Amino acid sequence: VQLQASGGSLVQAGGSLRLSCVASGNMFGINDMGWYRQAPGKQRELVAVISLSGRVNVADSVKGRFTISRDNAKKTVYLQGNSVKPEDTAVYYCNADVRVNPFTTRTYWGQGTQVTVSS
């Protein structure tokens, strides 16, 4: 199983970003999918997570500005960020809880995509 993240870029403050992450490989299905980020000198933190049924949990720091969604048929999770701020600058990582067989779930991580917000 592999997760491929894309969409990172240089964005001006107040602008928007859209990240995508697609899962590939042999799997029975995907439970939660999420986005995390890690800024320089800081620990990795949760940005947002979405369950298979569409239940969402969003960090307070981005609530009202960032939206997470998924396309189960495409095995893809998206992160839409609006009104971005310089403090949103970080490497963004996607992850997914993958059912590799009927009895086993494993967590996989994407390679990270850099988002830089200029002031």
Please list the pLDDT of the chain residue by residue as tens digits (119 residues).
999 999 999 999 999 999 999 999 999 999 999 999 999 999 999 999 999 999 999 999 999 999 999 999 999 999 999 999 999 999 999 999 999 999 999 999 999 999 999 99
Q: Is the CA virtual torsion 13, 65, 108, 96 positive or negative?
A: negative
115's enclosing H/E stretch is: strand 113-118
Q: What is the pLDDT of residue 20?
A: 98
Query: Which token pair is 74?
Result: 């495409």
**Residue labelled with tokens 């963004």:** 92
Q: What is the pLDDT of residue 63?
A: 98
Q: What is the pLDDT of residue 96?
A: 98
